[in-house]
Amino acid sequence: MSEVHIYHNPRCSKSRQTLALLEEQGIQPSIIEYLKDPLTAADISDLLRKLGFISARELIRSKEDAYKELNLKDVDDEKQLINAMVEHPKLIERPIVVKGDQARLGRPPEAVLEIL
């Protein structure tokens, strides 16, 4: 059985709800607070692959101030978008739950149940 990880922001209600849902399922995931322990470009690329080869744009929070400040609306380059998430971790959509070689975005929280 693979270990379960959650990329978590304790200030985010969806992230807290997803963590609670995992715990209700009897799962004690390893918690990665990505704002305190930022991800590398390789980490983000790996998550994109595990999420089903989604694009970097699909993982970016477009309502964050950094999104507007960096003018990311007009950026099509995957590498540039990933680097923006490395430099500004708040841009990363959350929570992300990983089990083995699969990941799901906890929006809605129940979506993570698909991989458990």
Output the pLDDT for position 103: 98
Helix (H) or strand (E) run with residue 95 in it: none
> Residue 56 phi/psi, 5° resolution?
-60, -35
C-alpha to C-alpha distance for 15 and 3, rounded to whole angstroms? 18
Output the pLDDT for position 1: 56
Output the pLDDT for position 2: 78
Question: Per-10-residue mean pLDDT for the chain, 116 residues long?
Answer: 91 97 97 96 98 96 96 96 98 98 97 96
Output the pLDDT for position 11: 96
Whole-model pTM: value is 0.95
Which residues does the annotation mark as catalytic?
12
- Considering all CA atoms of the chain, what is the largest pairwise distance in Å, rounded to the nearest integer? 43
C-alpha to C-alpha distance for 15 and 8, rounded to whole angstroms? 6
